[in-house]
Chains A and B, each alone.
Chain A
Amino acid sequence: DQQVKQNSPSLSVQEGRISILNCDYTNSMFDYFLWYKKYPAEGPTFLISISSIKDKNEDGRFTVFLNKSAKHLSLHIVPSQPGDSAVYFCAATDQQAGTALIFGKGTTLSVSS
């Protein structure tokens, strides 16, 4: 049973436009959500996170939105740049319990110039 789902395996966006990556989760115990960026043959790099007590967190070009009632979060990248092309993983954890991160399957973002 997949607790964290990224239903879009890929997304193509033009440079300068907005990229929206979506993630759904099923475990209501998750209280902390993270987005990671990953290049081939490298470890994931932390991008941005959000606690369940918030509904939005912004860091430069990256904004994460959390809709707890829908168990849905999204990552917005604006404006998108070619260097943003990578695989983006959504992850969730029960931070109170200190559990391991549960990852989605990832979305490959391609930003064309």
Chain B
Amino acid sequence: GAVVSQHPSWVICKSGTSVKIECRSLDFQATTMFWYRQFPKQSLMLMATSNEGSKATYEQGVEKDKFLINHASLTLSTLTVTSAHPEDSSFYICSARDSGGNNEQFFGPGTRLTVL
């Protein structure tokens, strides 16, 4: 099946710093990518929808100035957690929707963020 990669797979940072997470579709083009977050023992919650060449659409309660999303190409979306705080510690997962397929989504392996 199609492959989606995320980098880094895990990151530890100090409170107040910014962290960038990359999501790449490796063998298909994705005009739309989604960013999810999962807190321990909870479900995956959609944070935002990232559209290539346009602004991301954020879900209610997600601060767009804190979670900056850039979808600069058909194979890359980035999520930057700005001024990270310990409560931002979570598992961040992206998915990419195959533009040439039947809207099937493929998930990345996830990024574990720990903010000290």
Contacts and interface: CB of A to CB of B under 8 A. Distances in A.
B107 A46 contact: yes
Interface in A66-110: 89, 93, 95, 98, 100-106
A43 interface: yes
Interface size class of B (residues with CB under 8 A): 20 to 34
B110 A42 contact: yes
Interface in A24-60: 36, 41-46
Contacts, number: 48
Contact of B109 (A43, A93, A102): A43
Contact of B108 (A36, A43, A98, A104): A43
Contacts of B36: 103
Contacts of A105: 42-43
B107 A43 contact: yes
Interface of B: 1, 6, 10, 32, 34, 36, 42-46, 49, 91, 93, 95, 97, 102-103, 105-110, 112
